[in-house]
Amino acid sequence: MSAPPPGLRAADADAQALAPFTTWPDGAGGVALSQFQVAGMHCAACSGLIEALLNKLPGVEAASVNAASARLALWWRPSQVALADVLAALQAAGYRASPDVAAPARELRRQEKRQALWRLFVAGFLMMQVMMLAAPAYVAEAGELSADLDRLLRWGSWVLTLPVMAFAAGPFFSGAWKQLRSGRLGMDVPVTVGLAVTFVASTGALFDPGGALGHEVYFDSLTMFVALLLLARWFELGARHRAADALEAVAGSLPTTAERLRDDGSSERVPPEVLRAGDRIRVAAGEAFAADGCVLAGQGFVNEALLTGESAPVAKAVGDAVVAGSISLDGSLVVAVQRVGADTTAQGIVRLMQQAQSQRSSAGGVVERVAAGFTAGVLLLALAAGIGWWWIDPSRAVAVAVAVLIVTCPCALTLAAPAAWLTASGALARRGLLLADLSALERLCDVDTVVFDKTGTLSEDRLQLRRHWAAEGVDADALLAMARSLAALSRHPHAQALADGSSGLWTEVRELAGRGVEARDANGLVWRLGAPAWVRANPDPAARLAFGCGDRVLWLDLAEAPRADAAEAVKALRAQGRRVRLLSGDQRAAVARMAAALDIAHWRAGATPESKLAAVREWQAAGERVLMVGDGINDAPVLAAADVRIAMGQGAMLARSAADALLLSNRLMAVPKALTLAVKTRRVLRQNLAWAALYNLACVPLALAGWLPPLAAGIGMACSSLFVVLNAQRLNR
Amino acid sequence: MDILYLLIPFSVVMVLLIVAVFGWAVNAGQLDGFEKEAERILLVEDQGA
């Protein structure tokens, strides 16, 4: 694992090798944005270290590390620095970065988990044995334990402590070394100083009982301290891995192999990473496309729900474009590969989500800053306490300094925020709501107005034509056939409900957000299909949709059903004391019907994207915090303006890219649950911070006064870390 | 009680041996996924490797 992946060694890093995990925001040859998974990070402070380290390298524009998901986003210039050098610099600092395509990341996680488990076992198991050897000295009456036997027990403890210090505590030592070398103080420094001081003092007492280091040995509290810290980290690792797994489940829509056609007509199965633009692949029925491309031979239906949100099959014939991640439903297609890896549309979506993940939430940053200043203070305090006690009672100086160092480790402080955010996002992901931005949890707490879009959000995507009619003397059925052929050219749910696969000779097709679609027929007449008021000046109030040209107008009514749990979700939101609004571009009658069915008092119909935006701005100006739930292309601007935005998982790409969270399950009950969980998360976070502060306030004076033996200090310290992590785990329920 | 002088060093060596055995088990992947082991019986033989 230590060597960078093949292909990255070349000084002229070629774009092909970078493709799976790199994008070029300002075009080829400019700044490259590469995503990595980082192994070796075990605390929030590490992210700052990596950023500082990378930013110093020539050719690196910026680096952003998300401590929670262990992801690194690196902006760099391939013309000035080789990626291998960047990775080597990271490696020298003790971190391993691997390109963020799913498989290597999973392998890294597996190794990290094994390593953590082994360290935890070594520390935990040896801790128990050391305690057994230490027990006789605590329980024996005076004179019961012979001096020889006591020495032998101490020797046994020392031998069993060696693997704990040398192996299990390794992450603390390497972490502290990294922090010291970069001139920053993290939580590993006081832990390491505490461990080293305790071990040296105890070893000195063992070999030279009458020496300056006193005659007490602390091997039992030392091993327990390491074991409990490792246990807390084990929980944190678990939370991090669960979040990573949840993201990967979404990202894993690409197939693991593709059938590449050779020039002689034979074929081979290859992993998608080795595909290059210009290759030809064959995709059988039921398979997913491994790359974006265009159809060379064959025809069939394709499910493009990943891209468009429409689950209806799309017909593909020779020359049509297909996107990676969509699924061929019938027939076998031969596709010319045009884009692979990170350039594909599907990976574009995934990357948007990852970029949101790499932005650290502001609360996390504050906690980290507090921890850094805190550590510097603690080190000075311990030194002062040691010197102070040297004058009062030299024999206790070391013990007091040790107690101060162990008791004040800011472990709980730095664990507080990430543990809570990560657990909450994991719990939401299991309910089908995937957070793209962790800080959305913070904003969700203040939401008092929930605005729903109607079509595709509160209602099912599928619509059905209920009835159609026209004025006297107009052939309604003939117009309907024309309307159906025009509808096939639009992606709007209304049009999709009409489309029956027939096609007409339409030219100059234009789609207007919030209005409809217009096109020119074979005779050069412009027909419109869309909102009745747009098609004709004084529309039939019963119509939901109209199709027409001049006076020849067909009125259409579509039936639409609310989602199964829409009424329940609206009720739950109101029970939480939140205002529920319905904001739709649809006809007044249809919106009124839906509002009545769901018991929504505040509703607005016939809204255009501009008036939706204006309405949300107006509510915000009135002091309301708006959560917008929408799905369509016409919801994108209003989503961007809302305080918190949730897009339906099947929604259009544009809506999804603007969203803080994706509702993948389409179960609306996840929205009230997310709001409840956000409030709970804030409560847990505050509890955690308050606990960490309270604990230190209580223990530091005791340690300074010398009333806190190192054993009690170790227990208190480790327990406070565990408390914080376990408290966060409550959010999982 | 003299037997303790033998038993204590002996137990220390035993403990270190157990740790070594566990380390082998972890690094051989025996503790990677418990669900995987349970589900393996449901898989076709050549998939289950």
**Rg of chain B over CA atoms, in angstroms?**
19
Among A279, A343, A437, A453, the active-site one is A453
- A230 & A365 share domain: yes
> According to the model, what pLDDT value does residue A729 have?
83
- A210 & A305 share domain: no
Residue B28 lies in a domain: yes
- A551 & A570 share domain: no
Residue B47 lies in a domain: no
Which residues in chain B touch residue A133, judged by CB atoms under 8 angstroms apart? 8
Residue A21 sits in a domain of what CATH number?
Answer: 3.30.70.100
> According to the model, what pLDDT value does residue A291 have?
81
- A239 & A123 share domain: yes
For the residues of A320-376, what is the DSSP string, one character each? -EE-TT-EE-SS-EEEEEEE-GGGSHHHHHHHHHHHHHHSPPHHHHHHHHHHHHHHH
Nearest to A92 by CA among A50, A44, A47: A50
Residue A9 lies in a domain: no
Q: Is B20 on the interface with A (CB under 8 A)?
A: no
Write the pLDDT tens digit of every residue in A525-569.
Answer: 888 888 888 887 777 777 778 888 877 888 888 777 788 888 899
Residue B48 lies in a domain: no
- A95 & A117 share domain: no
- A634 & A673 share domain: yes
Residue B33 lies in a domain: yes
Inter-chain touch B9–A122, beta carbons under 8 Å: no
* Domains in chain B, number: 1
Inter-chain touch B32–A114, beta carbons under 8 Å: yes
- A452 & A590 share domain: yes
Residue B19 lies in a domain: yes
> According to the model, what pLDDT value does residue A634 have?
60
Structure token digits, residue A686: 């505050």
Residue A614, C-beta contacts closer than 8 angstroms, at least 6 positions apart: none
Nearest to A109 by CA among A213, A174, A37: A37
> According to the model, what pLDDT value does residue A418 have?
66
Q: Please, are residues A624 and A580 in contact by the beta-carbon 8 Å criterion?
A: no
Last residue of a domain, one of A314, A344, A374: A344
Residue A290 lies in a domain: yes
- Return d(Cα A257, Cα B18) in angstroms, integer: 42
Catalytic residue at A453?
yes
Last residue of a domain, one of A561, A581, A606: A561
Which residues in chain B touch residue A162, judged by CB atoms under 8 angstroms apart? none
Residue A225 lies in a domain: yes
Shortest CA gap B3–chain A (Å): 11
> According to the model, what pLDDT value does residue A342 have?
64
Residue A687 lies in a domain: yes
* φ, ψ dihedrals at A624, nearest 5°: -85, 145
- Check pLDDT > 60 for residue A607: yes
Residue A8 lies in a domain: no
Q: Please, are residues A248 and A268 in contact by the beta-carbon 8 Å criterion?
A: no
Residue A350 lies in a domain: no
- Return d(Cα A3, Cα A707) in angstroms, integer: 51
Is residue A4 very low, low, confident or very high in pLDDT (cuts 50, 70, 90)? very low
Inter-chain touch B19–A121, beta carbons under 8 Å: yes
Q: Please, are residues A123 and A227 in contact by the beta-carbon 8 Å criterion?
A: yes
| Number of CB atoms found within 10 A of residue B28's CB | 10
Q: Please, are residues A406 and A379 in contact by the beta-carbon 8 Å criterion?
A: no
Give the residue on A whose Cα is nearest the Cα of B18.
Answer: A125
Q: pTM of the full predicted structure?
A: 0.53
Nearest to A289 by CA among A319, A329, A317: A329
Which residues in chain A touch residue B26, judged by CB atoms under 8 angstroms apart? 114, 117-118, 121
Residue B12 lies in a domain: yes
- Return d(Cα A312, Cα A298) in angstroms, integer: 20
DSSP 8-state code for residue A216: -
Q: At what angle do helices A219-251 and A102-139 cross, to 10 degrees?
A: 160
Write the pLDDT tens digit of every residue in A44-79.
Answer: 667 778 888 888 888 888 888 876 567 788 888 878
Residue A229 lies in a domain: yes
Is residue B42 very low, low, confident or very high in pLDDT (cuts 50, 70, 90)? low
Inter-chain touch A149–B4, beta carbons under 8 Å: yes
Could you tell me the residue range of the domain that residue B37 belongs to? 4-42
Name every residue in A having a CB less than 8 A away from some CB of B.
Answer: 110, 113-114, 117-118, 121-122, 125-126, 129, 133, 148-149, 152-153, 156, 159-160, 163
Last residue of a domain, one of A100, A124, A158: A100
DSSP 8-state code for residue A272: G
Could you tell me the residue range of the domain that residue A303 belongs to? 258-344
Shortest CA gap B48–chain A (Å): 18
- Check pLDDT > 70 for residue A343: no
Mark out the alpha helices in A431-459 (DSSP H runs).
440-444
Residue B30 lies in a domain: yes
- A182 & A46 share domain: no
Write the pLDDT tens digit of every residue in A254-266.
Answer: 565 678 888 877 7
- A573 & A655 share domain: yes
Inter-chain touch B11–A125, beta carbons under 8 Å: no
Q: Is B25 on the interface with A (CB under 8 A)?
A: no
Inter-chain touch B12–A113, beta carbons under 8 Å: no
Inter-chain touch A126–B15, beta carbons under 8 Å: yes
- A68 & A193 share domain: no
- A529 & A638 share domain: no
* Domains in chain A, number: 5
CA distances from B40 to A114, B36, B44 (A): 21, 6, 8
Residues facing A434 on adjacent strands: A662
Structure token digits, residue A298: 């064959």
Give the residue on A whose Cα is nearest the Cα of B27.
Answer: A114
Q: Which of B1, B12, B23 sits opposite A118 (nearest CB)?
A: B23
Inter-chain touch B5–A149, beta carbons under 8 Å: yes
- Return d(Cα A650, Cα A563) in angstroms, integer: 14
Which has more pLDDT, A434 or A252?
A434
CA distances from A559 to A468, A493, B14 (A): 12, 12, 75
Q: Which ipTM value was assigned to this complex?
A: 0.84
Residue A413, C-beta contacts closer than 8 angstroms, at least 6 positions apart: A187, A367, A370, A371, A374, A689, A692, A693
- A690 & A706 share domain: yes
Q: Please, are residues A454 and A584 in contact by the beta-carbon 8 Å criterion?
A: yes
